Structure 1
Amino acid sequence: METHSHSRSSVTGVAAELQRRNRLLCTVALLNAVLALAFTILMQLDGRMLLGRNVWTKPWKFAVSISIFAATMAWLLPSLSLGKRLQRRVSTIIGAAMLIEITLISIQAARGVRSHFNTSTVLDGTVAAVMGITISVNTVVVGYVLWRTLRDPPSLAPAYRWGIWLGLSLFLLASLEGALMVVYGSHSVGVAPDSAGLPLLNWHYEGGDLRIAHFIGLHGLQILPLAGYLGARRTDRTRRALTIVGVVALLYGGLTAVTFVRAMLGLPFLAPVPTAPALGGLVAAVLLPCCGLVAVKR
């Protein structure tokens, strides 16, 4: 009973602190958590399918992800020495972008059509375009936050500060991978978008799936700052704390890179490791156009 009571009071304390730090983004996080619960219920009541999955699966995934992202930014922003006015502007843009995103995804789910990679009608194309613009604006704002904190480092423990920097950087790289999916026109490589996959996450059992690296990279925004914070708390030696966050960042970033390369090779996440020639082919496919561009510029 005492453990239950202590856990409940801890959760309440974190929620209260989150609201105190950033009321707007805390509200966005709470709203999306409620929406995730609503979508869970709708998945049981509405049996319509889209690409082999319940139509409400995608809104559920995005509501959970947006809730985590908004809560994370609500917690981090007050610690970054941005100033109250800038923090308020950043919070407003991020909050508005996330609300637009989940609204459009939910509307498309209610209509029983795809929200991403869908230009079959003028309406669907407009929705996809607005979503693309919204996420681009959100990415630019997060990039601006990173730039400001690099230019004017916040007064935090070095390991925690580096964890935030690395987490924001990996988040931005994963966002760029999202742009790659838009250019490619699909998250699937060498397999149909409606092929079988993991429950809820829907990561393909066969063929490459760019969503995996995208997912892992985006949530570096939670993992790496947490690693830096815990490293700073666990030891009073700055070098040791920095080593902890550096190792975690290297391993986590490596996992993101490996899942991305495997997806580009058309390999499912549970497939054997690709051969050296296959990896060499992918590296050549990426580097040769870059070398050609450099040669042309010269």
Structure 2
Amino acid sequence: MSTLAMQGAGFRPVRPLNRLFLDLFGAEKLFAATALVLMLMIPPTLLAMAFDGRTLLGENLWIKPLKFEISLTLYFLTLAFFARWLPEGMTETRWYRLFAGGVVLSTGLEMLWIGAAATQGIQSHFNTTSPLMAALYPMMGALATYLTSSSLIYGLAIRRAGGLALEPAFRFSLIWGLILTFALTVPVAGGMAVAFPGHAVGAGDLRVPHFLATHAMHFLPVAGYAAGRLLPAGMALPAVRFFTLGFVLFVAYSFAEAAMGFGFLGLIF
């Protein structure tokens, strides 16, 4: 279908994916700027690691801030990139600007909490050793849930945005990758915080399902894009649906496996 025909049918023209990377910051400037700030925090954190040799639970104190800076940089860059497929004008609405501002504020408070804990040489997560930390931990959990909900909002909004000239396989993977980032991360993180205070259960490590869940927004769209390029048109969408189901089951399996105290893939090998 030609571009003019798509416009006549109600489609919004979308540039080929391989060109969109040249304009990464154009669709959602607030999230792109947040990613840039987080990225600029990485070098000072690396310097802190180099000059501050203190450790906690066998790791340098600055490992956790570094992990969050890298992870959240990738998260906000991804949202800024995917924002181009939101309903037209959505990012300029009042409710969206308030919501996005709250997400950025939540991120700032999370990083302040994690950095302050590193400075003091104490755990930021799973720390109830003082009344202050016991009160802060659930509050930070609520902020993290709010932060993660932006992927859910994006997934639902893109689902409602009809007329996108996207291949069906990629559109499906994009929508469900965003939705499942929230839908899988919240129960996994909740299990780590409540049922298993901490990430280690014997030889099991609950960080594995947590990593998989939070990166559904990357794994699924990559699979959808690859399927649309490598498989016949009639096979791409069913293949992505099957991959999505398998991904959800794999996250559930890795969580159950870790909760039972087995190392990753320990129930298989």
Same-fold call, TM cutoff 0.5: yes
> Which residue of structure 2 aligns with residue 252 of structure 1?
247
SS in 1 for 2:174: helix
Normalized against structure 2, the TM-score is what? 0.81
Cα deviations across residues 71-124 of structure 1 (Å, max 9, x unaligned)? 111111231216231543443232222222122111111111111111222332
C-alpha distance in 2 between matches for 1:124 and 1:212: 25
Q: What stretches of structure 1 of length at least 5 have no aligned partner?
A: 1-12, 192-206, 275-298
Q: Distance in 2 between matches of 1:68 and 1:186?
A: 26
Structure-1 residue corresponding to 2:46: 40
Aligned equivalent of 1:91: 100
Deviates more, 1:169-178 or 1:108-117: 169-178
Which protein, 1 or 2, shows the higher relative CO under an 8 Å CA cutoff with sep ≥ 6? 2
Partner of 2:120: 111
1:123 aligned onto 2:132 = yes
- Taking the aligned partners of 1:55 and 1:30, their CA distance within structure 2 comes to 23
Residue 174 of structure 1 corresponds to which residue in structure 2? 185
Q: Distance in 2 between matches of 1:148 and 1:19?
A: 19
Match for residue 20 of structure 1? 26
Aligned position for 2:208: 212
Moved more, 151-160 or 67-76: 151-160
Contact 2:227 2:240 in 1 (8 A): yes
Residues 91, 74 of structure 1: alpha-carbon distance in 2 compared, 3 angstrom cutoff: farther
The two structures, once aligned, show a CA RMSD in angstroms of 2.6
Equivalent residues of 2:204, 2:264 under 8 A apart: yes
- Match of 2:114, as an amino acid? I
| 1:228 corresponds to 2:212 | no
Q: 1:135 aligned to 144, 148, 161, which one?
A: 144
Q: Decide whether aligned partners of structure 1 residues 154 and 215 sit closer, same or farther in structure 2, where only a CA change above 3 A counts.
A: farther
Residue segments in structure 2 that go unaligned for 5+ positions in a row: 1-19
Aligned residues: 247
CA distance in 2, matches of 1:100, 1:58: 15
How far apart, in 2, do the equivalents of 1:90 and 1:245 lie?
A: 31
1:187 touches 1:211 (CA, 8 Å); kept in 2?
A: no
Identity percentage of aligned residues: 28
Counterpart secondary structure, 2:254: helix
Q: Indicate the residue corresponding to 2:66 in structure 1.
A: 60
